[in-house]
Each structure stands twice: as C-alpha cells, then as structure tokens.
Amino acid sequence: MRYKHRLMVPGPTPLPPEVTAAATWPLEDERTPRFARLFVRVIDGLREVLRTRNDVLVFTSSMTGAFEGAIQNLFSPGDRVLVLNNGAFGARWVDLCRVFGLDVVELSAPWGDEISPARVAAVLDGDPSIVAAVAVHSETSTGVVNDMAGFGAVTRDVLSIVDTTSGAGACDLRTDDWGLDVVVGGGQKALMTPPGLAFASLSERAWHFHRRAGLPRFYFDWTAAWKAFDREVPQSPWTPAITLLVQMDAALRHLREEGLERVLHRHLVLGRVTRAAVRAMGLTTLSPDDDRSAAVTTVFMPDGVDADQIVLEMGDRYGAQIVGGHGPLAGRVVRLGHCGYVDALDVITMIAALELTLRSLAVPIPAGAGVAAAVEATARHSGAVPGLGAAGEAGDLALEAAGMGAPEPAVLATSARGGR
Ligand SMILES: *Cc1c(COP(=O)(O)O)cnc(C)c1O
C-alpha cells in the first residue's frame, strides 16, 4: 500500500474537505459583481480574524511578497527601522529591509527566547530617529510567540509592523486593541488555504507613511490595490489567484462556523497536549511551556540522534510529515505543527508516529508514554471544544460538497478610508 500522507508541519496545513472541494468550482471571471461579493467576503473574513476595522488588501504571492510590498509601500531608502530578530523569520525581515536600503537597527535574542517589550521600549527611547518597528508574532522557526500586546504598547510613537503568518487563526491577535499599524500574513498556516495568498491590514498611520514613501513599487502598489477595491465592482488590480480566493472563502466560512474564540482555544489546548506528550517521552522543547505557543512545538532530539533523519524516517515509514529546524537548529530539533485544520486525534497520531520512529532507531522511549500523556491531557480538556471530545455539529454535507455553499452577506461594512 502506498502510505497515507499526514501533513503535520506548521504550514502548509491540511485542508478541510470543503476547502479542497472549492478548488473544483468552475472558474469565474474575477471582475463580475458575483465574484466581487466573494472577494469582499474574504476581506471581511480576514478583518474578523485580525480583529480589525482597518483596510485589508489581498495579494497573490507567498507571504514574503507581501512583506516586500510593505517595505516598498511604507519607506524611502535610508529610513531607520527597528527589526526584532529571534528566529529565521525575524532574520528574513532584517535581510529584506537591508536589500531595500533601509537603515536597520537589529534587536536580537537567541533562538527560543522572546524579545521583551521592555527591550523594544529601551531602544526606541534611546533613538528618536527610528520611524518604524517590525516584529514576528509567531516565530515559526522556534515556536516562540512574541508578546504583540506589549509590542503594540511600546510602539505607539512609531509605525508598527507585524508578521503574523503562523499566528493569525491560531494565536490571540488583536490588531486594533493592541494598536498594530500593519499586520501581514497569509493563508497557508492556520487559515487552512493552500499557499499563494497574502494579506496586509493597514491603519491610518500606515496610509500616511504610504503617501510619503519613495521606494519604487508596482505589483504590490497599495494605491493600485485600493483603487481597484474601491471601484463599483470591487476587484484586484491584476488577475488574482481566483481558485485560491474561492478556497479561502470556504476556509473562512469554516472558521466562522467554529467561532474564532473556540478556534483559538482549540489551538491553545493542542499546544498543551503536544508539550505534555513530548515531556512524557523524556524530550525537551525549545518552544516555551506557555499557552501562547499554540501553533508549533519545537522539540530537541536526544543526543546522538539526527533530527533530520527522524523527519525523513517518520515520513517514509508512517507517512507522517513533520519538519526539522532552520539555521542553528538544523539537525537538532523537529518541529511539530498543530495549526489549522487539526484536532486532538491528529496530535495523538503524530506523537505515536514520533514514538514509533524513535524506537525504530533504538532510542529508548517507553511504549506509549507520549501517547498516554496526550490522551490524558486531551481528556482533561474534553467537553471544551469540538475536535477535543465535545459533541460537534456535522456540517451540511450538500453545502460542503458544493464547496462554497449559499452566499453569505458581507459581515463588516468595508471602511472607505484607504488609499487617499
Ligand atoms: C510560514 C511563514 C512565512 C512564510 O513566508 P513564505 O513567503 O510563504 O515562505 C513567513 N513568516 C512566518 C512567521 C511564517 O511562519
């Protein structure tokens, strides 16, 4: 038998069946009123997930495209920008800002450590020429989730930019309450959509920076995106990934039906279950034992065990796809994804596969230690959330099979503030 593939990495993530089915919907022209309703609904759904009334723009690209676009749309060469770097994605932002000629002040911490808001405040207080600060919300390379409420609080006087790629839909994020000016992310992590769509939410202050920014831009030009969205039939300036938008619409509907609070709680519990299991196996985590760490758990392999080999063997023998570490963590850790369309049994399966793989390499793990702890931790939370033992409602099968279901009205009135 060809093995059954189980995707357990922190992005891309498994798709709900109706999101897969939505890809088979006949293609639509993207400049019709009918498609515009879907487009507006997707944007409103993203605003709900980001908890913002700010404008949201959607781009056809991986996340890095939208990051690059943010820099082009906000800055001029020589602008002084603080970039927090405690992992591979923070490092990517440092490189990106430097490529565009920004004057980067780097604030770093060892991989696995947080960067406290107090340190950010100290740097900003000491250097009034800094105009903006960039932070990664959920640092997927380590599993650390940085304190974005604190970051927002200490960046009131500068422009704040947040990369929430594996955060949105898994970890608490309150764009407006926390005063985050630009929040950039994409669909392929907890938002249960195949890779290829990115988004950015923009505050008044972000638009203000945009109007003065001097870097060249074209494909990611926010004014072009806003003008197209602001037409009588809202649309994107260039051909969007139509199929992915239909899939994201289905994914956001799925999320809305579960309810954002319950979705976040499910992720929090899955983080606890995963940490309890690996601890019971005698392993240590790099990601902190903290409820905020809800999207991915980073686990050190025992001395003498090549983590990359574990990843390969687990895939080859059991069809369970996890991922290793970047940079200084390469070969030392495995990363277990538990964000998106994931439930307790998925995590228990992943832990069982990890146990089996370690045992096959003669690492002495008592049989079932991790699984027993995962079952125990799940049982403690059962009743809380569907997918964790509470009775859930089966979806409407006919609607699910159709992929899109009946059209829903737009939820938030779109604000009309952008671009001016
Ligand atoms: C996954 C992830 C990205 C992905 O960027 P791509 O351009 O899609 O490779 C960026 N930032 C963070 C924090 C991520 O977790």
Q: What is the pLDDT of residues 89-141, one digit of tens each?
A: 999 999 999 999 999 999 999 999 999 999 999 999 999 999 999 999 999 99
The length of the chain, given as a count of residues: 420
3-state SS class at 348? helix
CB atoms closer than 10 angstroms to residue 272: 21
List, chain by chain if needed, residues with CB within 6 Å of any ligand 1 atom. 11, 62-64, 89, 136, 140, 163, 165-166, 186, 189
Which pLDDT value is given to residue 411? 45
- Atom of ligand 1 minimally distant from the CA of 136: 13
What does R_g of the chain's alpha carbons equal in angstroms? 21
The Å distance, Cα 6 to ligand 1 centre, comes to 21
Determine which residue's CA is closest to atom 14 belonging to ligand 1.
165
Q: Tell me, what DSSP letter sits at residue 4?
A: P
Residue 420 CA to ligand 1 centre (angstroms)? 30
- 272: its two tokens: 């606890």
The pLDDT value recorded for residue 344 is 95
CA of 136 to the centre of ligand 1 (A): 10
pLDDT of 166 reads 92
Cα(228) to centroid of ligand 1, in Å? 26
Whole-number Å distance, alpha carbon 165 to ligand 1 midpoint, is 6
- The upper half-sphere exposure of residue 53, i.e. CA atoms within 13 Å in the direction of its Cβ, equals 6
Low-confidence stretches of the chain (pLDDT < 70) are: 1, 382-420
pLDDT tens track for 400-419 = 444 444 445 444 444 445 54
Longest Cα–Cα distance in the chain: 65
Q: Give the whole-number percent of the chain exceeding pLDDT 90.
A: 88
Of 157, 200, 262, which Cα lies nearest the Cα of 68? 200
SS3 320: strand
Q: Rounded to the nearest whole angstrom, what is the distance from the C-alpha of residue 141 to the centroid of ligand 1?
A: 10
Q: Whose CA is nearest to atom 5 of ligand 1?
A: 63
What pLDDT sits at residue 381? 86
Q: To test the ligand 1 pocket, which listed residue (67, 162, 165) has its Cβ within 8 A of the most ligand atoms?
A: 165
The answer for residues whose C-beta is within 8 angstroms of residue 416's C-beta and 6 or more apart is 230
The pLDDT of residue 413: 43
